[in-house]
């Protein structure tokens, strides 16, 4: 029994050791603008019946990690008297594979999207990772109050 509990504890620790939270920043803060978004067929995907879009962008610098991923919500949110779209992003990626993206929807927990990415490491090479996004729309009656997004890098 003791060895079984040790094995379970090791698996739980290993799962969290290889999954790191990712900080999502407002697109404007990380330089994700319309001018540098890659709008080709393989550089964008949409989910939630088109209300959530993922778009790769080219930040150009730093040269070792020139790419990022923007999460754009089509439903405008009123902020300080103006209707605007929420755009969050993550940068410092050396590659984004939106063609290889998979998704799963659950009405209770929302949308989970797994995006294959490459991230530079300390040795100057890129390591394949999976960026996991959990997106949930918070509703009040018939209108949306916004989205909650969590991101982890596995």
Per-residue pLDDT tens digits for 100-152: 999 999 888 889 999 999 988 888 788 999 999 998 876 655 555 566 789 99
Q: Please give, one letter per residue, the 3-state secondary structure of 81-135.
A: CEEECCEEEEEEECEECHHHCEEEEECCCEEEEEEEEEEECCCCCEEEEEEEEEE
Per-residue pLDDT tens digits for 5-27: 334 344 433 333 456 888 899 99
- In this model, does residue 38 exceed pLDDT 80? yes
Around 58, how many Cα atoms within 13 Å sit in the side-chain half-sphere? 7
What pTM was computed for the model? Answer: 0.75
Nearest residue to 85 (alpha-carbon basis) of 150, 149, 27: 27
Per-residue pLDDT tens digits for 41-69: 888 999 878 888 999 998 877 676 788 99
Whole-number Å distance between alpha carbons of 115 and 100: 7
Distance between start and end Cα atoms, the chain: 30
Whole-number Å distance between alpha carbons of 137 and 83: 17
């Amino acid at each position: 029994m003791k060895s079984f509990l040790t094995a379970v504890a090791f698996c739980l620790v290993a799962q969290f050791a290889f999954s790191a939270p990712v900080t999502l920043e407002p697109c404007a803060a990380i330089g994700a603008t319309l001018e540098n978004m890659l709008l080709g067929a393989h550089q964008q995907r949409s989910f939630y019946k088109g209300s959530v879009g993922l778009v790769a962008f080219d930040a150009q610098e730093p040269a070792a990690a020139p790419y990022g991923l923007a999460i754009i919500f089509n439903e405008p949110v009123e902020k300080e008297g103006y209707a605007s779209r929420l755009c969050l992003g993550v940068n410092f990626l050396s590659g984004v594979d939106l063609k290889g993206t998979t998704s799963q929807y659950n009405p209770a927990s929302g949308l989970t999207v797994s995006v294959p990415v490459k991230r530079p490491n300390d040795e100057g090479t890129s390591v394949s990772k999976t960026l996991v996004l959990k997106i949930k729309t918070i509703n009040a009656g018939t209108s949306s109050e916004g989205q909650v997004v969590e991101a982890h890098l596995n």
